[in-house]
Structure 1
Amino acid sequence: MLEGGSGQGGQGTAFDDITHIIIDEVHERTIESDFLLIVLKTLLVQRPDLRIVLMSATVDADKISKYFGGCPVLQVPGRTFPVDVRYLEDAVEFTKWKITEASPYARRGKSYKGKARMDWSEEVIVADDDDEMAETNLKLEKRYSSTTASTINLLDDRLVPFELIVRLLERICFEDPTHASFSSAILVFMPATNIAETGITIPDITCVIDSGRHREMRFDEKRQISRLVDTYVAKSNAAQRRGRAGRVQAGLCFHLFTKHRYDTKMADHPDPEIMRLSLSDLALRIKIMKVNLGTSVEDVLLRALDPPLTMNIQRAVNSLIEVRALTPAEEITPMGRLLSKLPTDVHLGKFLLIATLFRCLDPALTIAATLNSKSPFVTPFGLQDEADRAKLSFRSDNSDFLTIHNAFSTWRNACANGSGIARKLCKQYFLSHQNLLQIEELRQQYLGYLIDSNFVQVDRAFTRELSRSRFSRNRPRFVTVPPELTINSSNTWIIGSALAAGLYPKILSVGVLKDGKNDIRTILNNQPVFFHPSSINFGRRAKEFGVNHLCYFTLMHSKRLYAWETSPVEDMALLLLCGEADFKLMSNTVTIDRKIRFRVEPKSSVALKYLRSQLGSLLAAQYRCKPLSETQVNWNELAMMILGKVEIKEAPEREDTVTLVVNRPLNY
């Protein structure tokens, strides 16, 4: 709705006939909700007569009121029952739980060797500010025993006390008759995410045990990596959690943090996403808005309720310039307009566009859909080794991306023989049938977006078939990608080239140290990287890949900097498709963005420079949805042969034939 009309040059907008806007259920300070506030504030300047109503049970109403110039706030009391709120010291006193210095829950500086931390298979890091927030020598009220005080002061409050949670459950359910009325349904909040706080309602909950922690994603703009951080919730999160206990009767809640921490150290509200996640997608969205929001991305984002740092805004804009979605002057490019219509990460969106042009769309749809949803691979408790072996049976060319596609294709073929066979396959190879169905749904959505943007041309019959499948409420329907878009889907080198071009500069250099260990580093800032245990390349030696570079999608920093999904990249893909190339004939080198340097013979260098120029021109033409000339078609076929390592069988070699010679990259 917000993209309709035109808000520039005095022309009308899609809002000219609208008098009221009502927005319900604004729960979290997501990037989308903050962007919505910017748009609404801009609209109010252009349309003072417009009336906007925001409804929410959790946002900071006073702060939003000030943001809109002191607009009125209406308070509607809720109908929840009172909740008896207790804290960590109350839980320890109630259960008589105690620990000694030898306990895995005892404070040991910055060490996390205790059983409580090691029991979690998912690796996270503790928020940096938690080290400063550790509570020591806390004085409790006289009503608490000395044993409770000793336990509270010895407890490492950065760990989740699972033993205490078990003791609470035992006391409430079996040992204390005065709490029997709270034992029918108990909700325990572990650090997973905050989905259950706002997305799930369980009507018969009467007791809540809140670990007081959650895991949230934070994006490090400087290092361009994501970090899954284990940190304390804010007061508003805690209120949302304990509110679950008062839906049907008077409830009980145990917060597993001290009253002192709640009163003096916990934030009132969590940091909004605009302050901790990547701003690239939001920056691109700003450039396609038909409402005139501001003169630049920075100008717009600095008007946010909580403006992000200028440096982070500039890094986001630079990343869009790097993928060529924006020009250096912040003008949106034809490719950028196409990317804005794909509801996915800009790198995955670019990968889908290039895979379409390279005629390997089918595996690309699977890869993009999987990376935007849940993994099809599952690991039941106690069956880690069996699940790993099953996953490795789908391995394809040392690529996590192709392994995903292989597993999905196997399942899809099994579905053609009946759902019973497909479910048997899932059970045997530890695959999630539900997650695979969601991947198929996303595949169809992405294909639909490509068609709607006119980037993919299909006949009306296919459009109707896709529409019936996407909106069918019966059993899942599969859609076969048009054959002309899948000609190269079996050529793993071409798929790898599309991945490299789309994900660049998410590239790792591969080397071997003197002691024989892997030396894998980012090309952006030379940081050492390790394969995450979930990757099929975990434990593999660098020399086994047979290439000098890998591409990746996710880097996550926990105990180390881990690459979750990786795939080999041929040097030719980097030379022809990635970054800005500098060809230096005198020194026999080619550099890509001053990050990667190759040794190339002069004749090969000239040929590569010309081929790169021609390939760039024909890709740019196709981003504008223009047909290729006969000459461009020929250049495209030659490029596909080179990228796909297809043997060229033509006339005998002539004197003017150039053999491309590219040596191992020279690392700085």
Structure 2
Amino acid sequence: MYKWKKNYQGNRHFQAQDTKSNFRLPQVFQCLPNARTELRDSSFSIFSRSYFVTSSVDSQPIGKINISSEKLDEVNEILRKLQPIADVNYESMENSLFKMNFLEKRTITMDQKMDFFHEKLEQKSDIDYELFLENNKRYEDPLFMKMYEKRKNLPSFQKRNQIVKMIQENQVVLISGETGCGKTTQVPQFLLDDYVSSYKGSACKIICTQPRRISAVSVAERVARERGEVLGISVGYQIRLERVLPRKYGSILFVTNGIVIRLMESDPSLNNISHLIIDEIHERDIHSDFLLTLVKQVITRRKDLKVILMSATLNEKRFKEYFDGCTHVEIKGFSHPVEEYYLEDVLERLNFTFAPSMARTDSIERNTMIFRHNVVPYVQDLRAENSYSEKVCRELLKPHSEEINLDLIHQLTMHICRNEGPGAILIFVTGYDDINRLFNLFYELPEEEYMIIALHSEIPMEDQKFVFEPSPSGVRKIILATNIAETSITIDDVVYVIDSGWAKIKVFDPKTNTENLQPRFISKANAIQRKGRAGRLMAGKCFHLYTRARFEAFYEYQRPEILRCRLESMMLQMKFLQLGKVKVFFNKMLDKPDAKIVEAACHLLNELGALDEEEALTPLGYYLAKLPIAPQLGKMLLLGVIFSCLEPILNIAVSLDYKSPFNLTLKSNSRIPQLDPKMAEFAENVKSDHLLLHKALHLYQTFDKATRSVFCKEYNINKTVMKMLKKMKVEFMENLFALELVTTTDLKHKDLNINSKNVELIKSIVCGGLYPNIMLACTLSGQPKTFFKTLNDTKVVLHKKSILSYDRFFTCPLLVFYIKMKTKMDMVFDATVCSPFPVIFFGTNLRTTKAMNEHCLVVNHKLRFSCDKNASSIVEQLRERLQHYITYRLTHPASMKSDVEDKFLKIVVDLLASRGS
């Protein structure tokens, strides 16, 4: 949470005083030498040709690979000394921790594990008595009693006995309650207090899931306060990278859904839990749907496990059918009345005129059709009834009146500030860009009168907590938020809500292998939740920036995430939990995903080498499932360990997994797009977005605290993102150490970074991890302009945030990327120019062809590299050996390398470090 004016000036364009800073980057950054550095071994070379692509990416060879005869002899000698490649036999592998755990994941199903493990919570009379006395003593505390009296006024408290009785008598209970009824904070306490007062406290261990990190933390803190405690006694929380655990017995733990799924890897029956509460199930995020499916299997064996499903707005019939007609308890909400206003009312108040718009925010056919068939007739009726002024009706008939309009939001906010009573204003927009632009509109407001705060999922937890603090007397709090503020977050002083009617939704298209992140209209359930944020302490007002007709056309509920997102990470978790064939498991879910999305996920995991032909985990897949990171980034990380360049690869991986620390700006006074001069200075000689991420993190951690602040301000780097990336690096080093892949948690240890200054090798490892995300820089004959195509011939554009988007020529036409999104067109946000060898060594379907008396190595049926016959044969053998070597290193993580292996690896490193220049 930010008070932006104070903490985020560095994200704006540099002020005059910033440009006068004396801070300069170190003159020599040894990890990233000049791009003109000579090849490590001139025996290898790749000669880039002029490249022309007219229709498909495989029309002609991309380049020629030459290996000297002396080097071929040396490679042949090494290959002869290596042991013959044997078929992988996991059973005959020498005994190790890896073997034990890996074979378990291949042979023992989740159902079998649930039969094996019978450890359960043990009731202990001495602990029961201690908890009983402790609970009684609370009632002598005046602060606790004050909170207790407030709790009694909540609607959920009126149904306390009914809720407890229902849960005692039924295994699965569905609780729906309107916003403000207190179900999230009270139900866990009802259960704990019932057990403690019945001398059964030691047998009570409650886990309550929340869809978001901030929800888990804020609810835990609120419940602890209500119990007159600090966190860590009977109440705690656990989210990724942060936790305050409660005692083992008689406790409530608030977590994100993913934490429970990870817990089930070691405890599939949840034997150490007495109650599992899954909150906000109406949101239908991928983790909650996955968890619901797992829980449905668990309760068939654990009849004593109590499962409570909770939500403010839900499709009751759907969930009751899924859980075989489970019991339902409804809690009527309590809040002060909230007046609702729609777009027509807002325009009447403000006399606002929509400026001409060049393009719709969302051009989906359904939205256009609804506008014509629902909104237009509605407005015509308003005109006929003379309900609103003629000007309002004219404005409503403009199609772009339904777009997100930040000027309208700004004017409405200022209208509320001038004409309405005190109270915080909560504004719902779609994302970080909207928040930043709104902040610019509010920037001139005096600090002594206004507190501007942002609420966004990527803002660090310690900063987000500011949103819950009341503003000083006479200061108006304005909260700029995404849909993160819809559920499980109670901001008591919010009186006014401005609902833009939009949220950003990510949709995966398996045909183009592209994620589409665009604003979409919310659902009726979302609108009700947003309205419910107002009126907690007094009568409130909600301003919907869409017409009543558009609201009636909203879907009842948002489309479940499982139907519109990538599935690779989830499928790896499924295989790790040994849940059987993926299609069979998906058929058990509340909504099963599209078969094409499932097929695309299986295909990618096969190409990565994470799953074999039988859909079983490979050794690589085992590690990828254990690492809390996307599979491609996990593979990159493992290759960084094997090739001893861990620090730069880890820096790149965490940045891609979380968020780039850069806030880039462009010069707006030039007809030709140019990189901001400060960014150009920072990016000098790097020529890779991925290496730039490493450079930023590496430098940041070499500076002291004072210098870091200057460094971040000077080069427009987000310091709070840097802090999160540092935490993630510590977490991953601990994970790698626990898996015995490294012998120390010291990321900078010399043995882990022997090749960390080899820039071309680092690029190759990035390529090896991110494959098959390859694109080619292409030109048409006679035209100087460069364009890009992916392996499936999709034309893409480099986003302006990529430093390579300003280059016009590339030493090699091969580029590797991670993030591809469809906005108005297919956009690639990050890229690195790579050489052919990582594609040849880590790509799929390598074969040799001969055309026009020239041998070619072909990867993925698309990428062709000319090569003489002897060299092509050697390269094929090296690739096969490398795949075997990587498998061996993963299956024998603690074993020492032999001298022959060292020489073999050096040859591979030399090849991977070769590049065209």
Listed as ranges, the matches of 1:588-627 within 5 Å are 588-626=855-893, 627=895
- Which of 568, 575, 587 is the matching residue for 1:280? 568
Corresponding residue for 1:169?
A: 413
In the alignment, structure 1 residue 339 sits paired with structure 2 residue 608: no
Query: Mind listing any 5+ residue stretches in structure 2 that lack a counterpart?
Result: 1-104, 118-266, 432-481
Residue 432 (1) aligns with residue 432 (2): no
Q: Which amino acid in 2 is paired with 1:165?
A: I
Q: Which residue of 1 aligns with 2:503?
A: 214
Q: Normalized against structure 1, the TM-score is what?
A: 0.83
Shift of 1:70: 1.1
Change over 3 Å in CA distance of 1:615–1:16 after alignment to 2: closer
Match 2:332 to one of 66, 74, 77: 77
Distance 2:279 2:789 in 1: 44
- Change beyond 3 A, Cα 1:243–1:617: same
Q: How far apart are residue 595 of structure 1 and its match?
A: 2.0
Distance 1:9 1:202, change over 3 A: closer
Summarize deviations over 1:191-211 as a string: whole Å, max 9, x none. 224223237543211111111
Ranked by relative contact order (alpha carbons within 8 Å, sequence separation 6 or more), the top structure is 2
d(CA) in 2 for partners of 1:286, 1:348: 19
Higher alpha-carbon deviation: 555-564 or 148-157: 148-157
Q: Is the 1:377–1:391 contact (alpha carbons within 8 Å) kept by the matching residues of 2?
A: no
CA gap of 1:66–1:576, structure 2 versus 1, over 3 A, is same
What is the CA–CA distance in structure 1 between the aligned matches of 2:840 and 2:408, rounded to whole Å? 58
Code of the residue aligned with 1:63 in structure 2: it is: R
Report the equivalent of 1:23: 277
Cα distance in structure 2, aligned partners of 1:300 and 1:573? 35
Whichever of the two has the greater Rg, that structure is: 2
Residue 567 of structure 1, aligned match among 797, 810, 832 = 832
Shift of 1:247: 1.3
Q: Separation in 1 of the partners of 2:642 and 2:873?
A: 25
The correspondence for 1:269, drawn from 554, 557, 572, is: 557
Amino acid corresponding to residue 409 of structure 1 in structure 2: H
> Where does residue 631 of structure 1 map in the other structure?
900
Q: Select 1:306's aligned residue among 591, 604, 611.
A: 591
Instruction: Give 1:558's aligned residue.
Output: 823
Which of 185, 200, 208 matches 2:424? Answer: 185
Task: Indicate if the aligned counterparts of 1:454 and 1:625 stay in contact, CA closer than 8 A.
Answer: no
TM superposition shift of 1:220:
1.1
Distance 1:480 1:361, change over 3 A: closer
Equivalent residue in structure 1 for 2:729, among 437, 443, 446 = 443
Partner of 1:391: 679
Residue identity in the other structure for 1:597: R
Q: Cα distance, 1:49 vs. partner?
A: 4.9
Whether 2:392 is the aligned partner of 1:148: answer yes
Aligned length, in residue pairs: 594
Match of 2:701 among 412, 421, 440: 412
Closer, same or farther: CA 17–426 of 1 in aligned 2, 3 Å: closer
Task: Tell me how far 1:555 sits from its aligned partner.
Answer: 0.8
Structure 1 residue 445 displacement after superposition = 1.1
**Mapping of residues 36-115 of structure 1, within 5 Å:** 36-98=291-353, 103-104=355-356, 111-112=358-359
1:498-517 aligned at under 5 Å gives the runs 498-514=765-781, 515-517=783-785
Maintained 8 Å contact 2:337/2:539: yes
- The residue that corresponds to 1:467 in the other structure is none
Query: Letter of the aligned partner of 2:800 in structure 1?
Result: P
Q: Output aligned runs, 1:286-325, within 5 Å.
A: 286-290=574-578, 293=579, 295-325=580-610
Distance 1:605 1:245 in 2: 69
Report the Cα distance in structure 1 between the residues aligned to 2:731 and 2:273, rounded to whole angstroms: 33
Q: Which residue of 2 aligns with 1:225?
A: 514
CA distance 1:154–1:74, shift in 2 (3 Å) = same
Alpha-carbon distance in structure 2 between the residues aligned to 1:234 and 1:409: 44
Task: Please tell me whether residue 8 in structure 1 is matched to residue 112 in structure 2.
Answer: yes
Equivalences for residues 522-601 of structure 1 within 5 A = 522-523=790-791, 525-541=792-808, 543=809, 545-584=810-849, 588-601=855-868
Cα distance in structure 1, aligned partners of 2:304 and 2:490: 38
| Alignment gaps of 5+ in structure 1 | 106-110, 118-123, 463-478, 647-662
1:348-390, CA deviations, whole angstroms, 9 ceiling, x for partnerless residues?
0000001110111001111111112232112589999998322
Structure 2 residue 531 is matched with structure 1 residue 242: yes
Greater shift in the superposed pair: 613-622 or 506-515: 506-515
- 1:596-652 CA-partner distances (Å, limit 9, x unpaired): 122111011111111111111111101212534543332112111221249xxxxxx
Tell me if the contact between 2:675 and 2:806 (Cα under 8 Å) persists in the aligned partners.
no
Evaluate the alpha carbon distance shift between residue 556 and residue 75 of structure 1 in structure 2; reply closer, same or farther with a 3 A threshold.
same
* TM-score of the two chains, using structure 2 as the length reference: 0.62
Distance 1:333 1:127 in 2: 41
Distance 1:382 1:131 in 2: 36
- 1:405 Cα deviation from its structure 2 partner: 0.9
Question: C-alpha displacement at 1:56, in angstroms?
Answer: 2.9
Q: Judging changes above 3 Å, is the alpha-carbon distance between structure 1 residues 582 and 604 closer, same or farther for their aligned structure 2 residues?
A: same
| Aligned-residue offset at 1:439 | 0.9
Q: For 2:568 and 2:273, how far apart are their aligned partners in 1?
A: 32
Provide the secondary structure at the position in 1 that maps to 2:857. Answer: strand
**What is the one-letter code of the residue matched to 2:741?**
F
Residue 562 of structure 2: SS of its match in structure 1? helix
Counterparts of 1:590 and 1:387 in 2: how far apart (Å)? 37
Give, in whole Å, the separation in 1 of the partners of 2:556 and 2:666. Answer: 37
Measured in 1, the distance between the counterparts of 2:488 and 2:649 equals 31
Residues 237-284 of structure 1 deviation map (CA, whole Å, 9 limit, x = unaligned): 111211111111110011011111212x10111111111110111111
Once residues 453 and 69 of structure 1 are traced to their aligned partners in structure 2, the CA distance between those partners, rounded to angstroms, is 41
Matched residue type, 1:561: D
Contact residue 298 and residue 314 of structure 1 kept, 8 A: no
Q: Give 3-state SS (helix, strand or coil) of 1:613's partner.
A: helix
1:369 maps to 2:654: yes
C-alpha displacement of 1:500: 1.0
Contact 1:127-1:231 within 8 A present in 2 as well: no
Identical pairs, percent: 28
Q: Counterpart of 1:261 in structure 2: which amino acid? A: R
Partner amino acid for 1:186?
I
How much has 1:137 moved relative to structure 2?
Answer: 3.7
Q: Deviations over 1:157-196 (max 9, x none)?
A: 441233433443343332x4xxx22x53222222224223
- Alpha carbons of structure 1 residues 361 and 128: separation in structure 2 relative to 1, 3 Å: farther
Quote the residue 1:136 is aligned against.
376
Alpha-carbon distance change, 510 to 360 in structure 1, aligned in 2, over 3 angstroms: same
Which residue of structure 1 aligns with residue 910 of structure 2?
641
Give the match's secondary structure for 1:149.
Answer: helix
